[in-house]
Amino acid sequence: MGTFTTQFLVGSGHPYEGGIIPGAQIFISENSRPSLIMTELSYEFLPAGKIQKERIWIPSVSEVIDDVFLMISIYCLESEDVQELKELKEEFLKEILAANNSLERVEIYQCFSGERRTQLYKKNRRILNKHFSGIKVVATIMANSMVLPVLKAFDNYRVSLEVCLSVFKP
C-alpha cells in the first residue's frame, strides 16, 4: 500500500456554518504508481458513517486534478436535467467497459489516448462550470504530493473549492 498524500472531500457547502457536508472522499495514494481511491460517505449511522462501494483509478500523472474532477462527475453528480452530464457518463462508461471490463479499477491513461482525455476533461470542465458550481470540494494536500506541481489546474474549475496545504513546521 502506498502513502496517502492528498484527500478530497466532495459534497455541498453548509448554507450557514461554512464547512462541507461530504458525500464522498477521494484519496491519492502514491508509491510506485499513484491511484485515486474514492469511497462514498453516508451518515445514516452516525457517528461512524458507512463506507460504500470503492472505486480505484490510476490517474494520468500530469492531469491528476482533471482526473479527480472527472471522477467526481462520473460517480458523484446526478441530474436528469443536464443532458451533457448524462452523455458524458454514458460515453465514459461505455469506453471504460470496452477497454477495461471493470468499473472498479480503471487505468485512465491506458483506456483513453491523450487526445481523448483532453476532450473528456474539456467537456467535464464545461459541464461542472455551467451546471454544478454549487458543489464543494476540499483538498488537503500534504508535502511532496504529486498534486503540488499542478495546483494551477484548480483554476480551471469554478466550483466552491478550498485547498489546504501542509505548512506547519514545529
Instruction: Write out the chain's pLDDT in tens, 170 residues.
Output: 689 999 999 998 888 888 888 889 999 999 888 999 999 886 544 344 434 578 899 999 899 999 999 999 998 888 878 899 999 999 998 988 888 877 778 899 888 999 999 999 999 999 999 999 889 999 999 999 999 999 999 999 999 999 999 877 67
* Domains in the chain: boundaries: 3-165
Query: Pick from 57, 20, 12: which is nearest to 38 by CA?
Result: 57
Query: Looking at the whole model, is its pTM more than 0.85?
Result: yes
